[in-house]
């Protein structure tokens, strides 16, 4: 039996949950999210908790049981508190500028890179353009946006220059030993 799928999801005050024909709609102070619940999985609200149950013990339904619980939990957390990911830009002359609904990166290439943020993700530039905070209510969208931005210039293995997650630990390779 799925240990994660059996755990109830606590619903904070101010969050409304509606189930209609296999669709769950979660509304909170930060916005709305919806998702289609897979067939064979049933969700219901009891005493300010969401309970997830499955029809039988097929392998596919066991996998979907825990997945459904995790996604619904992320939806409830997203509409109540939101998610944020911090990126650090390291390198001489490397920086980011906020341009309304987009960002402009200077990452050591000959031209600056313009990046348009998807709907549902907002950004804040801190510390003179070397720190970028992405915020939103959809955990998957915020994480995917951060990964795409990091992919513009991944951290270098020798000097550590590039875009990295805050707190990411890099193991730098040693350079040439040098002849004597």
Assigned domain for 172 exists: no
Beta sheet of 121-126, edge-to-edge order: 121-126, 131-136, 83-90, 162-165
pLDDT at 178: 60
In this structure, the answer to whether residues 9 and 75 fall within a common structural domain is yes
> Which is higher by pLDDT, 179 or 44?
44
Selection from 38, 55, 43, 48 nearest residue 19 by Cα: 43
For residue 88, being part of any structural domain is answered with yes
pLDDT of residue 124: 94
Phi/psi class of residue 22: alpha, beta or left (left: φ > 0; alpha: ψ in -120 to 50)? left
Span 72-85, pLDDT tens digits: 999 999 999 999 99
Q: How confident is the model at residue 3 (pLDDT cuts 50, 70, 90)?
A: confident
Asked if 108 and 115 touch (Cβ cutoff 8 Å), the reply is no
Domain hosting 139: range is 83-165
pLDDT single digits (tens) 28-70: 999 999 999 999 999 999 999 999 999 988 889 988 999 999 9
- pLDDT bin (cut points 50, 70, 90) of residue 180 is low
CA 15 to the chain's CA centroid: 20
The pLDDT value given to residue 69: 93
| 1, pLDDT greater than 60 | no
Q: Is-above-0.75 flag for pTM?
A: yes
Summarised one tens digit per residue, pLDDT across range 100-138 is 889 999 999 999 999 999 999 999 999 888 999 999 999
Per residue in 18-28, pLDDT (tens digit) is 998 889 999 99
Task: Indicate the length of the chain as a whole number.
Answer: 180
The enclosing domain of 22 has a CATH number of 3.90.930.12
pLDDT at 100: 83
Q: Within this chain, do residues 88 and 64 fall inside the same structural domain, yes or no?
A: no
Mind listing the pLDDT tens digit for each residue in 137-153?
Answer: 999 999 999 999 999 99
The total number of structural domains in the chain stands at: 2
- Among residues 80, 96, 122, which one ends one of the domains? 80
> Do residues 106 and 150 both lie within one domain?
yes
In the chain the first and final C-alpha atoms are separated, in Å, by 64
Whether residues 100 and 50 share a domain: the answer is: no
């Amino acid at each position: 039996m799925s240990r994660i799928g059996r755990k109830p999801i606590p619903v904070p005050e101010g969050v409304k949950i509606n189930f209609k024909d296999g669709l769950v709609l979660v509304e909170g102070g930060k916005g709305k999210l919806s998702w289609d619940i897979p067939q064979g999985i049933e969700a219901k609200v009891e005493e300010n908790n969401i309970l997830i149950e499955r029809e039988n013990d097929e392998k596919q339904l066991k996998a979907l049981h825990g997945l459904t619980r995790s996604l619904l939990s992320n939806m409830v957390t997203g509409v109540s508190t939101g998610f944020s990911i911090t990126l650090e830009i390291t390198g001489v002359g490397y920086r980011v500028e906020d341009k309304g609904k987009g960002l402009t990166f200077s990452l050591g290439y000959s031209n600056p890179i313009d990046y348009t943020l998807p709907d549902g993700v907002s950004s804040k530039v801190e510390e003179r353009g070397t720190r970028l905070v992405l915020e939103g209510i959809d955990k998957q969208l915020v994480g995917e946006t951060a990964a795409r931005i990091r992919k513009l210039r991944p951290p270098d293995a020798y000097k550590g220059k590039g875009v990295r997650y805050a707190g990411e630990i890099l193991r730098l390779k040693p350079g040439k030993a040098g002849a004597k």
